[in-house]
Amino acid sequence: MSQYSIPLKYRRMENLHIVFWLFKDIGWCLFWKPLGIVMIFPTLIISIVIAYRTRQMASELFHNLAITFWISANSYWMISEFMQFDALQVYGWITYKHLALIPFFMGVFCLAYYYAIWQPRHPNEIETM
């Protein structure tokens, strides 16, 4: 049986990513706009780098893409609250906050595609999840 291991330099980046993500969400929770907004960039950039580095393993790639979409949705939602346009209506009952559902659903679709289509068609691939 094969075992997937994460190189140490990648693991360090993933751990640092978590720190940035936490500071972004702390900034959001405490309404510290500069902290929240500044932390979007390293959080999102590292998320994209992690997804890129794991592109050879479908399981890792699709899950990391879902995380990238999640961070994007969270970041947009946070900005909409900080700039106080989250409750404004776009159309009918749909507010600007609801637009965060677009990247959230993109993440869901990545995982749905992986589990419903890719994984059943590649039953002999090494899985990490």
Express each pLDDT in 70-99 by its tens digit.
Answer: 999 999 999 999 999 999 999 999 999 999
> Which DSSP symbol is given to 126?
-
Confidence of residue 127 (pLDDT cuts 50, 70, 90): low
Overall average pLDDT of the 28-45 stretch: 96
Cα 52–chain centre separation: 13
Tokens of 18: 């978590």
Instruction: Give me the pLDDT at residue 27, please.
Output: 97
Does residue 35 contact residue 27 with C-beta atoms inside 8 Å? Answer: yes
Q: Mean pLDDT over all residues of the chain?
A: 92
